[in-house]
Each structure stands twice: as C-alpha cells, then as structure tokens.
Structure 1
C-alpha cells in the first residue's frame, strides 16, 4: 500500500532556540552583578549534575552568586580585551572561561569547595573507575521479570526455576575504558556509582 502524503510525523518535543534576547539578558545580568560584588572566582567542574549544583548554589545564595552558561556570552559580558572590559583587569577572567568552567562572585571558603563532592551513576561515554565483573551463577539481586531486559543488555542470562542465572562470567566494564550505554544501565541496576561531581577552583 502506498504511503500517504498526509501521514507526517509531528515532533511533540520541539523547543525554542535561545535567541539574541536571552543572550543579551544574560550579559546584562552579569554586568549588573559585577557592580555589586568586589571579587570574582573561576572554577571548573567534572561530572556536572544539575540538581546537585542547584542544591550547592542554594546553600550559598546568601553570600555568592554563580554564573553557568555559554563561555562566549560570559566572556562578552566581562570583556575580552582592555578596550571592552567592564572592570580593570577582568579580561584575565574571560581568558580562563573555556571548557567546563563557571565563575562566582564572592566565593565561599576554599575548604567548602574542596570538601564538596557528590557521587552519582556514570553516564554513557564516561570512563570506568574500576573493573566490574559478574561471576557465573544466580543473580539474586534481579527479579525474574528483568531477565529479558538483561539479555537485551548483552548479558548471558537464563531463567532457572524462576531465578535469573548468569550462564558464564560477564565483564560489565573495564577500568579506564569508556562506558557503553548497556554498561551504564547495568551499573545503575547494580547500584554502583562511579561518577563524582566536583568543583575545582582555578583562580
């Protein structure tokens, strides 16, 4: 049967692109905040988790203000040269804003940054911090309903009297190697957290 021209898929998850107006609003927000604070601190982050970062910001919102967004927009707001910098010498901060970086105004004590660390499940593509290998035999942590799902993840499993059983030893991930989508799902099921969300002060 020929395909109908009226049968067109409609995406329900369309989002509006961030336009010039939003970028200008962020630039104005940064410039307005700079006038209210006496110092700027730049830090990098690894394994960013939005919810954890939001909680961290909430703890310090009375004394600090954090800016996280497009590095180029933040550089423009601060100024990238002596001619367009909004405060003398702040162009040096702009040069440090690249990669996974943010900046805050009035930084809390260094020990708070150093002590901060939240563990979470690793995402696809991140490097495994240890080797995880499952031995042949029954997997009592999984219910019989999960057997088809585990098989889809590449695990050599079968049902034996209602118990999920591993037919042979199975290596979920190797230390230092990127995690596959299947490996990250299995680690989540096993409750193994390998990622740590940290902040590192740069200047």
Structure 2
C-alpha cells in the first residue's frame, strides 16, 4: 500500500501522500470517507470492543477459580491446564480443580500463562480500540494527531478528543 501511495515526494500519487505512507507501519489501516474530521474522530473515540487481555496487559479485576469440576473442558485439555499452572486432576473423565486458584490480581501485569487461562475461561479483560494517527485530505494537506495514552490504560474518549483538538 505504501508503494502505491508513494514513498517519496518524487513517487507520491498525490501531494503529501508520502507522509501518509510513512505512517503505514505495524498494525495500521486506511479509512476512506466523505465524513468530516469531527465525525470520524467522534466515532473512533467512542468505538471499542471487548477483547482478551494479552501478556503484559494490566489486570482490571481479581479473577479466582473455585475448586471443583471444570465441565466446560474436555478431558484432553487437562494436561494443558496443568501446564498453565492450574492444580487439576482427572476424575472419571472430568477435569477437576483440586483447590481454589487465583488467576490474577487487579493492577498486576499479566503473564503469558495468566492471559491464556483468562482466554480459556472466556474472561475478556481488555478493550480493542482504534487510534487515529493522522489525516490526509484531497487538498493535499496532511495532519498528524498525537495521543499520550498507554495501550494498557482504559481509554477516556473525552480526554482523547480534547488532546486531538488541542494539537
């Protein structure tokens, strides 16, 4: 995509598109719309979807699993659960948690094992959000938006909108 837009002033398709193509790194996307800047920023500041926390995210709540049968898992999952650190045993083909287990504490950084356990138990502790990083317009103008929020923090749409308006 960056090649099609142009990587330099000499190769850009339209004025200042080389600045846009320089931003296309990692997980980035393009949105083409006739909506106003304000409408687009408002939409993305309010948009989010629940997601599973990944390793390195901060736990937003305490998660404990009570001892007893884990009927949502097939018997073949028992070794995997034990490898993740859960105290399990197999009783008559049913996985059983032999004692209460604390997966994580609120405010602590999640390990890969903790994030995998949370996912297996269907606990969504993160939010998927889209951050607008810049805007190119048909008149050739290019505007960069700045944000200061960390990926591990819960986003505050009101604060984000104020930061964008101030820049």
Contact 1:128 1:194 in 2 (8 A): yes
Contact 1:63 1:108 in 2 (8 A): no
Q: 1:61 aligns with which of 27, 32, 36?
A: 32
Q: 1:158 aligns with which of 84, 89, 96?
A: 89
Equivalent position SS for 2:128: strand
Q: 1:136 aligns with which of 56, 67, 71?
A: 67
TM-score by length of 2: 0.62
Tell me by how many angstroms 1:148 deviates: 0.2
Q: Are 2:167 and 1:196 equivalent residues in the alignment?
A: no
Match runs of 1:1-203 below 5 Å: 25-26=6-7, 28=9, 32=14, 34=16, 50=27, 54=29, 57=30, 60-63=31-34, 107-109=37-39, 110-198=41-129, 199=131, 200-201=160-161, 202-203=163-164
CA 147–30 in structure 1, closer or farther in 2 if over 3 Å, else same: farther
Q: Which structure 2 segments of 5+ residues have no match? A: 18-25, 132-159
Tell me by how many angstroms 1:126 deviates: 0.5
The root-mean-square deviation of aligned C-alpha atoms, in Å, is 3.0
Q: Report the count of equivalent residues.
A: 122
Equivalent position SS for 2:37: coil
Larger gyration radius, structure 1 or structure 2: 1
CA 33–157 in structure 1, closer or farther in 2 if over 3 Å, else same: farther
Tell me by how many angstroms 1:63 deviates: 3.1
CA 175–27 in structure 1, closer or farther in 2 if over 3 Å, else same: farther
Corresponding residue for residue 10 of structure 1? none
What CA deviation, in whole Å up to 9, does each residue of 1:43-101 have, x standing for no partner? xxxxxx94xx74xx5xx41237xxxxxxxxxxxxxxxxxxxxxxxxxxxxxxxxxxxxx
Tell me by how many angstroms 1:191 deviates: 1.1
